[in-house]
Structure 1
């Protein structure tokens, strides 16, 4: 079991997290006593390993209440606690704490130079090497500070740049080498990236960011600046912001799945953002019920405290609020009523998010009072079964992510005329015409986890601005509408894990000989499509001039590659776990096809044969 505790050690929430880690159950509707009994029953007589990560709370009483509940496991069970507080280690430890040693000075230098210089460049700039040694000495042998400083200077060869880092007054501030280094990194950010970074502090520690949603959140608050290039969309600019912050080590654990990238923020980076934005950002927890007139963004880690203590005490401090993140399981019989009341206070709210483990069952009918709302996300919520009709009156809404419990996405979604991003999970069998297909501003559409969905809407040609389409985990999906071939602005197409889907259903009958439209597809991924026997030639032919990346994975029945693909444009090809197609590539038919020199990377991987070719 693994639980990130972070700053707020609420006994009830910690127990809920432990149970969820052990069983997957959320248990938001259980009271404290019921949760304790359930945890004891789960651990009773079982040997376990439990990680309590990033513990800060120094109140011994809270640990003494949790410890007996964890003692029900079998002999040999272990609990590992990570903390940056010696006091916490003394309270919780039954063995001496293991203190991580500092990195050796020589290793620090090696690490810094590796981060700061391109290959072979170090020997060319002995003056920078000497300055770098002085910078590393100020990092006090802390690897995070060393890495951060090295990445800040990567590719920079002007001596003044290095000297400005070395001579920064921030080094004189109190700290162990980490926070001064991070403050210098923050200082060197362009103004637009500083604002984007600070806004991340509204999300809880250990939050799993998705790049596409992060960009929509920034857009909702007007943080992304339009460039002079009229063809570059705000979404493209925002993704560039994400990549730049990652390259500067403001995010970590970056994982790119092509259709979406995920990453986290280091706890110390979160501390930095929170300290710099403390006047505008606040966390409502079981320990903090305060909210000031300067607070514009806050996260709620304890809904009971928020609804029953913060709201009544500070009724006039909410008109200026722009974003709320409910970061705990919202439960309780009065929750909907409380939420309905508090909506009237947030007249200028731009973004509203319910975390993935939220148990909130319904949106208030009066959600249309949030006329300025631009972003709302409850994509991981499994309890919300329907959307109130009033939500479709939110004509300023730009991004909507709806959850796994939704029975139906009504046609009324067409009234959201400014919607640019839609993530939908629905239990209906068919997406009706006159709904999604009317969203002319929509640029990104995710249709995922729709287990009952057999057919999409036939009027997809109405999506005149769509650039990214992701269809995944729709096991009952039989066919795709032919109107997909009319999406002339579509640049990225991902169709994944659809067991019954035959891609050829989007092709016209051959005798009609329809001339394919000129399309804009750059990236296509087809994965886990066992019912597909051939690739849609007309779709690929229409994108001959723009096509760059083609990935086909786990499609065992596709036998050959269409000849219509323009190999002069294609840069990356990956064929994985496609036994029939891999054999075709290795036969004489595919041999010439694989020799094209314009392709930068080809990978053919067939698990059955155990062979792999890569060039």
Structure 2
């Protein structure tokens, strides 16, 4: 068991414990009570050998450490807690063994690290002159890995001896007054001008704050740090290139437990504050700190940690800062469920900040946005996510410079401004399913729109799907609901086939199946909504046609990895998903008319190339009439990578006969007629040798987990389960015995009558 927690300046026992729980379980934990959190941690550490890392500790109070370590005593012998700190007294207080002092890197190791970063292709020997200069630069790093890494990122940008000599002989090596490492100041000094302000802007975040790249790029765009370039490159792509450039120079680093999020090393953060400190103000969430805060005269950007009750008094330091450009609340490290902000801040303070470009009220329990928001004519980024607003005021339509509007988690939102089509510069409208009844008209005018995450088809010409015709630049994820209102011509006009940057598409009809549904029209609409072949994920929900169009399973969709079908109750057969070359995840749910999963699912070309060549997870659920799953004699050509198979609430399915050479997890639940795992048919000569661990008597040679629940007619298990480690059986009354289970570690048997004979364990 391994877990990692970044501690930093504030030794918050609850936050650290919660971080350890989440790191150990790889799951989000919603507990905000220390006693419950410690019980959860004990539950995960008890009798296990564990390694916990507490990184960057500054706390010198023994009492806090004693509280934190209470759960650590339940582990198995050999468990270990590693603490990293830059304060020797902290190490003495916490340590139970002698302190291990990290020494500086040797000159050779400093050069080796710098060389690996500066020459990513490992071709340093092609530049003998640079090697000599680089070794001298490495000496000046004083054995500090971060310095060598940062300078390596700087040097790799220009493999030129003059450039390297300029860095070697820079007078910044002798300037120690700022307290910033000279190597880091040099790395910043030689940044291109376009990257300097993007990096320095990140001083807005607290130390160890984990941020999302996409949102950071949106903020850079709003502040004017990212500019359009010549050619077809979008401003978002330019911003992402800026980020990747800074990442390659070691100004950012990836979070250890979430590859999609990033943070800034403490020393790099000090550098950002040093260069941006006079125009960036970070308020603390403690009012006594705010009262004493010395507000920089030139401050243009405000960020602060959101508190459970942010009064007007908290923001008094900025009441005279009329030129503020950024108002950005940030999440608590240990989030609350309820945040409030004074109505006086919304009604009086914010409307006076007429030069704001970035405004976030995300997470606050506000019910409405004041009409005076239209005063903020320069606003480019507005985040109202996870608020309780029921509608946006019509005055939002006057924010003509708005680029990004975030409305995630606004579950009470029922109405958008009717004139949103006036926001001609809008590029990102990010909204998820809420109480919205319809979309504003003339969305099609927003021709620069890159992200439209959710769209509701309206009646008649109102918010018709034809609005997509001119939205050529859509990218990312798009969900369209209310398609029962769409006509074939409107679907054709949508022209989804040319939108090559769309990666995820969800098409939804109403869940109400009555006599008013026009199945033939719905078939025509779905056929007309064929997306570009770059699509990666497709979801079709509550479709009322009897069959699917051929594009749904066309092999030309080479990038398609996920297909989910939900509630398509009239469909009697499945498309030939087996011929999608990259399909990894397939879910079939709620198809009430499906009786047989036949050969058509494999595709016409299965004999030549094998069916489902990439499929890893397969799930069938709520198939009320499904009785039979047909297989081929030559079935070993398919499902070669399938790792997980789940069958739930398929009451008429009697069984299946397949060989799954890579299957690790099998779940069969609430399948009343399921009675047997048929023995596989004979294997063509010479085939079995290509299947590791296969023999003629084994359906599942690699199966590790088998869960059978609510299958009262099941009378036998597969004949051999040589790799099985976890077995759970519940409500299988006719099961008469067990095969050899030599590897079994966990076994649960419940409600299976009294006729069970245990054979071996």
TM-score above 0.5: yes
**Once the 2 structures are TM-superposed, how far is the Cα of residue 180 of structure 1 from its aligned partner?**
2.1
Structure 2 Cα separation of the partners of residues 120 and 338 of structure 1? 56
**What corresponds to 2:132 in structure 1?**
130
Structure 2 Cα separation of the partners of residues 396 and 406 of structure 1? 26
**What corresponds to 2:277 in structure 1?**
278
Pair 338,377 (structure 1): closer, same or farther in 2 beyond 3 Å = closer
For 1:23-42, what aligned pairs fall within 5 Å after superposition?
Answer: 38-42=33-37
The question of whether the paired residues in 2 share the 8 Å contact of 1:300 and 1:327 is answered with: yes
1:373 and 2:379 correspond: yes
Pair 192,332 (structure 1): closer, same or farther in 2 beyond 3 Å = closer
For 1:393-432, what aligned pairs fall within 5 Å after superposition?
Answer: 393-408=398-413, 410-412=415-417, 413-428=420-435, 431-432=438-439
Instruction: Render the CA deviation track for 1:164-221: whole Å, top value 9, x for unaligned.
Output: 2222222223399983222222111111111111112212333443333222211211
**Once the 2 structures are TM-superposed, how far is the Cα of residue 103 of structure 1 from its aligned partner?**
3.7
Aligned partner of 2:329 among 326, 329, 336 = 326
Structure 2 Cα separation of the partners of residues 8 and 385 of structure 1? 38
1:491 and 2:500 correspond: yes
Pair 160,390 (structure 1): closer, same or farther in 2 beyond 3 Å = same
Instruction: Render the CA deviation track for 1:454-475: whole Å, top value 9, x for unaligned.
Output: xx96335356244234447999
**What corresponds to 2:300 in structure 1?**
296
SS at 1:550 equivalent: coil
Instruction: Render the CA deviation track for 1:230-281: whole Å, top value 9, x for unaligned.
Output: x3332232222222222222222289x9xx9643333332221111111111
Aligned partner of 2:584 among 576, 588, 594 = 576
SS at 1:423 equivalent: strand
Gaps of 5+ in 2: 46-51, 457-461, 512-519, 566-573, 588-599, 615-638, 644-659, 664-689, 691-761
**What corresponds to 1:588 in structure 2?**
608
The question of whether the paired residues in 1 share the 8 Å contact of 2:6 and 2:55 is answered with: yes
SS at 2:561 equivalent: strand
Pair 327,411 (structure 1): closer, same or farther in 2 beyond 3 Å = closer
1:267 and 2:266 correspond: yes
The question of whether the paired residues in 1 share the 8 Å contact of 2:283 and 2:305 is answered with: yes
Aligned partner of 2:551 among 537, 540, 560 = 537
SS at 2:138 equivalent: helix
The question of whether the paired residues in 1 share the 8 Å contact of 2:523 and 2:549 is answered with: no
**What corresponds to 1:552 in structure 2?**
561
**Once the 2 structures are TM-superposed, how far is the Cα of residue 68 of structure 1 from its aligned partner?**
6.2
TM-score by length of 1: 0.73
1:606 and 2:641 correspond: yes
Higher RCO (CA 8 Å, separation ≥ 6 residues): 1
Structure 2 Cα separation of the partners of residues 489 and 7 of structure 1? 51
The question of whether the paired residues in 1 share the 8 Å contact of 2:309 and 2:341 is answered with: no
Structure 2 Cα separation of the partners of residues 9 and 387 of structure 1? 41
Structure 2 Cα separation of the partners of residues 235 and 56 of structure 1? 39
**Once the 2 structures are TM-superposed, how far is the Cα of residue 391 of structure 1 from its aligned partner?**
3.7
Gaps of 5+ in 1: 28-34, 451-455, 564-572, 595-603
Q: Which of the two has greater helix per residue? A: 1
**What corresponds to 2:73 in structure 1?**
75
**What corresponds to 1:163 in structure 2?**
165
1:335 and 2:335 correspond: no
Structure 2 Cα separation of the partners of residues 505 and 552 of structure 1? 28
**Once the 2 structures are TM-superposed, how far is the Cα of residue 319 of structure 1 from its aligned partner?**
0.8
Instruction: Render the CA deviation track for 1:498-551: whole Å, top value 9, x for unaligned.
Output: 89999x9987479xx98x99x9x573212577999867639999xx9xx9x723
**What corresponds to 2:733 in structure 1?**
none
The question of whether the paired residues in 2 share the 8 Å contact of 1:217 and 1:351 is answered with: yes
- Select between 327-336 and 158-167 the one with higher mean Cα deviation: 327-336
The question of whether the paired residues in 1 share the 8 Å contact of 2:305 and 2:331 is answered with: yes
TM-score by length of 2: 0.60
Structure 2 Cα separation of the partners of residues 349 and 587 of structure 1? 63
Instruction: Render the CA deviation track for 1:15-74: whole Å, top value 9, x for unaligned.
Output: 9988998995768xxxxxxx7xx322442596266765444466x4xx74x456546647
**What corresponds to 1:570 in structure 2?**
none
Structure 2 Cα separation of the partners of residues 175 and 527 of structure 1? 58
The question of whether the paired residues in 2 share the 8 Å contact of 1:382 and 1:405 is answered with: yes
Alignment length, in residue pairs? Answer: 556
Structure 2 Cα separation of the partners of residues 383 and 203 of structure 1? 25
Alignment root-mean-square deviation, CA: 5.0
